[in-house]
């Protein structure tokens, strides 16, 4: 297992978002975390990545306890993530956005150095791989929503995480860009990166996932390969409304 939580709990006032969620995600695979709106998926991501502190339970990554650690420490441990709403710097160019994922000396102090030039080339490489290299000099605010999703992912990948958490990568993305995201995830997974994806687009989930965990009311109710999840009665009842 690469990422594991035990008894993870979080409440907001009188509303329980996570209810003792014990979950394991598989190293080297494309994992998906699905469930109806309000089932705790994004709260789970936020607890895992240090955006909020859980009320109880533990977060373990490759055997290391990350419970309650600051986001930058979790990122340094090898976990990167995107968000439902893109987090880019709107008045910075696409290239500058990707470079901002590099430690501070890389963006400001090192732009004229050999290392800085290497980082610029690497950032351009990620923009090229995601098909938006032609937008390198455009401000992020001028990009379409789908292009901003790709830009945010390029920034995450610039930090070279071993495990990538994607929060609704298909949200608001047109079919052409969605296909590109799906292909890229499988390519990067084949190169050794682990993925955990929160997503409502079931076609995407079923086509790229190796392992799926289903949440309902803040806890897992089913897990397994796509073939098993498609026919699980608990999933059909809780998530698909059948």
Mean pLDDT per segment of 10 residues, for the chain of length 242 residues? 91 92 94 91 95 95 92 93 87 92 57 68 93 93 90 93 92 80 92 94 92 93 91 73 52
Looking at the structure, do residues 8 and 110 belong to the same domain, yes or no? no
Looking at the structure, do residues 149 and 168 belong to the same domain, yes or no? no
At 240 the pLDDT is: 55
Is the Cα torsion angle 58, 64, 68, 72 positive or negative in sign?
negative
At 1 the pLDDT is: 61
Looking at the structure, do residues 55 and 113 belong to the same domain, yes or no? no
Q: What's the rounded Cα separation, in Å, for the pair 159 and 213? A: 26
**Would you state the structure tokens that stand for residue 58, as one six-digit string?**
């533990």
Looking at the structure, do residues 119 and 135 belong to the same domain, yes or no? yes
Final residue belonging to a domain, choices 142, 160, 178: 160
Contact 103, 76 (CB under 8 A): no
Looking at the structure, do residues 72 and 187 belong to the same domain, yes or no? yes
**Would you state the structure tokens that stand for residue 71, as one six-digit string?**
């986001």
Q: What is the CATH number of the domain that holds 1?
A: 3.40.50.300
Looking at the structure, do residues 165 and 241 belong to the same domain, yes or no? yes
Looking at the structure, do residues 106 and 122 belong to the same domain, yes or no? yes
Helix (H) / strand (E) element for 45: namely helix 41-48
Final residue belonging to a domain, choices 129, 160, 191: 160
Number of domains in the chain: 2
Chain centre to alpha carbon of residue 186: 14
Looking at the structure, do residues 72 and 172 belong to the same domain, yes or no? yes
* SS3 state of residue 144: coil
Looking at the structure, do residues 166 and 242 belong to the same domain, yes or no? yes
At which residue do the structure tokens 């996570």 appear?
Answer: 18
196-225 burial, b if ≥16 CB within 10 A, otherwise e?
Answer: bbbbebeebbbebbebbbbbbebbbbbbee
Final residue belonging to a domain, choices 134, 160, 186: 160
Looking at the structure, do residues 180 and 191 belong to the same domain, yes or no? yes
Looking at the structure, do residues 47 and 92 belong to the same domain, yes or no? no
Structural domain boundaries, residue 197: 1-78+161-242
Q: What's the rounded Cα separation, in Å, for the pair 206 and 190? A: 17
* Beta bridge partner(s), residue 164: 80, 195
Looking at the structure, do residues 32 and 136 belong to the same domain, yes or no? no
Nearest of 124, 114, 169, 115 to residue 146 by alpha carbon: 169
């Amino acid at each position: 297992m690469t990422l594991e939580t035990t008894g993870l709990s979080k409440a907001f006032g009188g509303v329980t978002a996570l209810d003792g969620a014990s979950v394991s995600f598989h190293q080297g695979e494309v994992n998906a975390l699905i469930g109806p709106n309000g089932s705790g998926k994004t709260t789970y991501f936020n607890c895992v990545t240090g955006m909020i502190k859980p009320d109880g339970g533990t977060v373990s990554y490759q055997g290391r306890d990350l419970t309650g650690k600051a986001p930058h420490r979790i990122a340094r441990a090898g976990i990167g993530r995107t968000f439902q709403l893109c987090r880019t710097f709107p008045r910075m160019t696409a290239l500058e956005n990707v470079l901002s994922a590099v430690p501070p000396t890389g963006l400001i102090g090192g732009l004229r150095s050999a290392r800085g030039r290497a980082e610029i080339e690497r950032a351009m490489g990620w923009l090229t791989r995601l098909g938006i290299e032609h937008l390198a000099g455009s401000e992020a605010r001028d990009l379409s929503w789908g292009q901003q999703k790709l830009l945010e992912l390029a920034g995450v990948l610039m930090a070279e995480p071993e495990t990538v958490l994607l929060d609704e990568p298909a949200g608001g993305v047109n079919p052409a860009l969605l296909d590109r995201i799906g292909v890229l995830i499988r390519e990067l997974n084949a190169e050794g990166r682990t993925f955990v994806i929160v997503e409502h687009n079931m076609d995407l989930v079923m086509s790229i996932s190796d392992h799926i965990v289903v949440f309902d009311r803040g806890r897992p109710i089913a897990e397994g390969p796509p073939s098993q999840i498609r026919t699980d009665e608990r999933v059909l009842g809780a998530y698909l409304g059948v």
